[in-house]
Amino acid sequence: MKEVHSVEAPLAVRRAVAVSVIAAALLSPLLAPVSVAGASVDVPAVHGSGLRPPAKQAVSVGGGGAVSSVNPYASQAGLDVLRRGGNAVDAAVATAAALGVVEPYSAGVGGGGYFVHYDARTRKVSTIDGRETAPARMRSDSFVDPSTGKPIAFSEAVNSGLSVGVPGTPATWVKALEDWGTIPLSAALRAATRLADKGFVVNNEFRAQTAMNEDRFRDFTSTAELFLPNGELPVVGSRFRNPGLARTYRELAREGVGALYRGDIGRDVVRTVQKPPVAAGSDRVVRPGLMEQADLSRYTAERRAPTRTTYRGLDVYSMAPSSSGGTTVGEALNILENFRLSKADRLQALHHYLEASRIAFADRNRWVGDPAFSDVPTEALLSKGFAKERACLIRPDAALTSPLAPADPRGSGSACSRGSGSEEPYEGPSTTHLVTADRWGSVVSYTLTIEQTGGSAITVPGRGFLLNNELTDFSFTPLTEGVPDPNLPAPGKRPRSSMAPTIVLHDGKPMLAIGSPGGATIVTTVLQTLVNRIDLGMSLPEAVFAPRLSQRNRVATEAEPAFLDSPERTALDRLGHQFVVAPSTFTPSAEIGAVAALEFLSDGRLQAVAEPKRRGGGSAMVIHENR
């Protein structure tokens, strides 16, 4: 098996062998012996059969392949695919599908995301833009109340059909599998289908996230029926089943994603968007959506060139617009490269990190949007020359004042201007992230979302998944009067995102893969973790576990409580920085992001890393653990 499926074997040969062998393993009955290249192995029972979930582990080191995600059921689903001979792409789709079951408030069939892939055979990084799109009837003033001429209330926009974009996640899965995978969608969905059917054990985080959404969930009959069983919050330790989602996955497995984009699932989505199932007696104003069947049939997941910059001799690849993640992380790194950051002077390192992020966000807000609708200066934003000009704003003894004005990366005007700009607009804090690596050295970094924790709060009746509220990522009105805004709504347009799935190469080979949920704090979480690892000499686990700060061209920097109690906070106060406690997003805890990452160690082993505490702790797994 290894000889046939090596990175040197032609792609067609690898697929032909792998599809027959791996699909047979994944689709066979539980515990049935399966022949893999002459060896007899047992296909293990899926952990979603109602048994306890796999134990959570924040760090796992070894070989043979790795998966890290926020949930142990999902990580196990991906690892099982790797164990049976699948590659990193196969495992990523299986993990993502399982996250749609156990993390339904963060991601799923009703959402979208960005997929970054390193192919060990070609040594090339490629990406898929699976961002949701606005329906054809969307207009630039769709979020403006015509009776007042003012934007509608944000809460009214979120909990509505109006906020629902055309889902991109299923199209992303199929495109990734067709371009780089070795198994069909039906095999990749098998573990998640069984998990939805048999159920998973409710944990504290799932109950807490349900409680955070309880009021709005009760306002939609299909959502309350699924997520508030018998009218109550799910009980910790009980089994949560989702037969509607199992049915949806089976239909996708049988008919392909055309079932969503041209078939019955799509018709159910459109019906729900246009006429949300509002509960009798609810006083919530729920606006109908604009989506039609033709919007679904027109959707495509787009292959895009990744963003690329160099940093301290490393190549950093991420997601290009429509996401702002790659350009904003990249610009900030380019600014920081003009300074020497050292663990010997942690104060100045943190100060420069905050200032570089502030500057990059000022430019991001002005220039980044869907490149099909705006002339986004991606190359200019990532130029070393522009970063050097912007770096002139940073002083070692005083913080900048926000909101800072943007600069034109194409050379019009002074990049050293300290003028006033506009604050970063609100972006929903949910989302989830996963990383995978296989035995051949291919890697995936994949961030997917339904926007808010709980999305639009509208579940498609009988289908078991929540619809996104991604269109609230558009600017409701221009951020600055008289200045073009690249992120206003338009028909078919993708709203700007901050998702930043990232892969770092050293000498052309993968070193790190990283990403995080958290809305606009994704950018700062990825950036700070890279600075911690590359500049401050932390190990990857230390870099992930460290207290986080998020400066996004706002007056005050959001910070986790552990930092607010630190000596560095007092020292940064003296430089003029202002801090506020980070808001509670995924759970009642004040925290920023929830990283999933991996590193190829110098001795050839893989190190998978997940959060130890944030969002209840994540799940890092390798096939052959060897510390």
The answer, yes or no, to whether residue 24 has pLDDT greater than 70, is no
Q: What is the pLDDT of residues 265-279, one digit of tens each?
A: 999 999 999 999 999
Q: What is the pLDDT of residues 166-214, one digit of tens each?
A: 999 999 999 999 999 999 999 999 999 999 999 999 999 999 999 999 9
CA distance 401 to 398: 9
3-state SS string over 445-498? EEEEECCCCCCCCCECCCCCCECCCHHHHCCCCCCCCCCCCCCCCCCCCCCCEC
Catalytic residue among 169, 182, 431, 436: 431
Amino acid in the structure at residue 296: L
Q: What is the mean pLDDT of the chain?
A: 90
| CB within 8 Å of 411: residues ≥ 6 apart | none
User: With bands split at pLDDT 50, 70 and 90, how would you rate the model's confidence at 421?
Assistant: low
Gap between the terminal Cα atoms of the chain: 26
CA distance 134 to 427: 16
User: What global pTM score does this model have?
Assistant: 0.91
User: With bands split at pLDDT 50, 70 and 90, how would you rate the model's confidence at 216?
Assistant: very high
CA distance 442 to 118: 5
Q: Where do we find the tokens 């190829």?
A: 600
Write the DSSP symbol of residue 395: B
CA 44 to chain centroid, in Å, comes to: 29
Is position 133 annotated as part of the catalytic site? Answer: no
- Residues paired with 447 in a beta bridge: 114, 433
Q: How many residues does the chain have?
A: 627
